[in-house]
Amino acid sequence: MSREALAFHASVSWSAIAQIESGRRINVRPRTLSALAGALGVTIDYLVSGSAQSAPMLDHRALLYETEPDFYALATPFVEQAIERSEAAFVVTRPERIRRLRRGLGSAAKRVEFAVRGEFYTTPGEVLARFREFNDRSMKDGATWIRLLGEPVWNGSAEGDVRLWARFESLLNLAFSAAPVTAACAYSTDELSPEIIEHARATHPHCIEQAELCASESYLDPNAYVLDG
């Protein structure tokens, strides 16, 4: 790819690319790295070091809760931290929970993007595209970190659908491995079946239970989970 073509596809100036290539520009902004990596079809890790084997940036958590107060006790500070740290925040949950979170956040709620889960969680492919769009748009707007809070729709799902969405959760660990993202997926241990909770533990490297963040002992490598399951 020519320098001019890269500048066009990444929406980065020709002179900026020339400075990076020559070594005159060393401290490259995260959103510029993201744009260049996207245009070249590589990860930021590969672009910077020539290797994609470094530790993932993604922090993917299963937020396991039992009661409605438990949900807010975990979800509210999670979103508040994003606001305090000037992170881009995206929350996908039930309408009544969106209303309560908005009230609790007050004027700061305008800094959070909300979506209704029944309208958002359509197909895995569409959800992945929407998360990518929010990530790319936020980075372009200057965000240095992204925070996602999602509540997948599981109730009424057939066995095949449960497995499909579980695979999607696992694939997120690959799709956003090199992205500056903290993602928390909410699972009600009271409403959902033990099978779905087991999937949550297997597809999230970390779990939050009883307000404690810990590594999931049941976590499975996404390649093995998706291909062998």
pLDDT in tens, 13-26: 988 888 888 888 87
Q: Does domain 3-49 have CATH number 1.10.260.40?
A: yes
Domain extent listing, the chain:
3-49, 59-228
**What is the DSSP secondary-structure string of 15-68?**
HHHHHHHHTS--S--HHHHHHHHHHHTS-HHHHHHS-S-SPP--EEEEEEESSH
Other Cβ atoms closer than 10 A to 120 = 19
* Res. 59: pLDDT tops 80: yes
Amino acid at 228: D
| pTM for this model (two decimals) | 0.75
Assigned CATH topology for domain 59-228: Rossmann fold (3.40.50)
Other Cβ atoms closer than 10 A to 87 = 19
pLDDT in tens, 116-171: 999 999 999 999 999 999 999 999 998 989 999 999 988 656 666 888 899 999 99
Q: Residue 121: name the closest of 173, 49, 186, 77 by CA.
A: 186
pLDDT in tens, 67-90: 999 999 999 999 999 999 999 999
